[in-house]
Amino acid sequence: MNKLPDAAAVADIIREVSRAEALSRFQSLAAHEITEKGPGDLVTIADLETERALERALGALLPGSVMVGEEAVAGNPGLLDALKTGDDLCWIIDPIDGTINYAHGVPLFATMVALVAGGEVVGGWIYDPVHDSMAMAEKGGGAYLDGRRIELGPGPGLARLSGCLHLTGYDRELAATAARNFDNVGPLLVLHCAGLEYQQMLNGRLHYAVYLRTNPWDHAPGLMLLGEAGGHTARLDGSAYDLNVIVHPSPLLAAVGEAAWHDLREHLFGLRNDM
C-alpha cells in the first residue's frame, strides 16, 4: 500500500480548489448552471468542477488512488464498490456539501474529503470556504480545527444539549417520540449541511446530530473528525456506522461523547440503554 499523504498537504489542496471552483462561483450562478439529479436533489456547475479539480489534484498527490465523488457516483453507482475492504486507497469527495444552500445563495456549505485504506477511514477533512475554516484528522493523530487540537469534554447536561435533529423519513413512532421529548433537550439547529454541523460539534456550538441518510461523502469525514476528538457515534439500534450501508432503518446519532449519546437515546428517543 502506498504511503499515506501528509494531512496538511491534503488540506492545502482542498482549500485551494474549494476557493477557486466553489467560492468563486458563489452567488453568481446562471439559471442553466443549476440542475436536478433527481426530484429536489440539486447539482451545480460548481459541484462538478470542484469535484473534477479535486480528483486531479488528489490523484496527483497519491498516484493510483481511486476517486469516489458524490457527483461521479450519481452517474456510476458501481464506484462505491471501491470502498469495500481491499488494498486500494480511495478518496471520498463531497465537492459542495449543502448544495441547496449554495444554489440559493445561503453561505452554509462545505467541501469534504475522506481517505479510505483497506475499507477503513484513515483521514478526514471539512473545509468551510466562506469562513476559511479547516477541520482535519488522521487516524490516531487527533482532530484539529484551524490548527487547534480539539479534545471534546463530556458536554453539558441533557437539558443544555443543543443539536441537529432531522425527523423526516424516520420510523413514525420514533419520530413522534422525539417530537414529544423536545423539551428534555436544549435548542435545535438545522444547517442543511452535515459538514458544518460536524464542525459546529467540534467547536462546541452543537452537541449532537441525527441523520437518516448516511451517504459516505456526507459522513465519513465528519465521523473521523468527531471520533478523533473524543466523540461517539452509532446508530440508535447500537450498531456501528458502515461506509457500505447507505439505507438503514435505524438513524445515525453522532454526539460529543458516549454519555451524551446514551442520554439522548434514552430521553429524546425513548429507547432503553440495555444493549
pTM of the model: 0.95
- CATH code (residue 140): 3.30.540.10
State pLDDT tens for residues 6-52.
999 999 999 999 999 999 999 999 999 999 988 888 999 999 999 99
State pLDDT tens for residues 72-128.
999 999 999 888 866 789 999 999 999 999 999 999 999 999 999 988 999 999 999
- Domains identified in the chain, total number: 2
Domain region containing 241: 158-267
Classified as helix, coil or strand, 29 is: coil
238 vs 265: CA distance, rounded Å: 10
Angle, CA 141 vertex, CA 223 and CA 62 arms, to 5°: 80
**Stretch 254-264: mean pLDDT:** 95
The answer on 145 and 19 residing in a single domain is: yes
The answer on 170 and 144 residing in a single domain is: no
Percent of residues, the chain, with pLDDT higher than 90: 82
- CATH code (residue 204): 3.40.190.80
108 vs 204: CA distance, rounded Å: 18
The answer on 141 and 180 residing in a single domain is: no
**Are 124 and 139 spatial neighbours (Cβ–Cβ below 8 Å)?**
no
In a domain, 234, yes or no: yes
Assigned C-alpha cell, 98: 449543502
Choose the final residue of a domain: 150, 183, 209.
150
The answer on 126 and 11 residing in a single domain is: yes
Classified as helix, coil or strand, 24 is: helix
The answer on 146 and 22 residing in a single domain is: yes
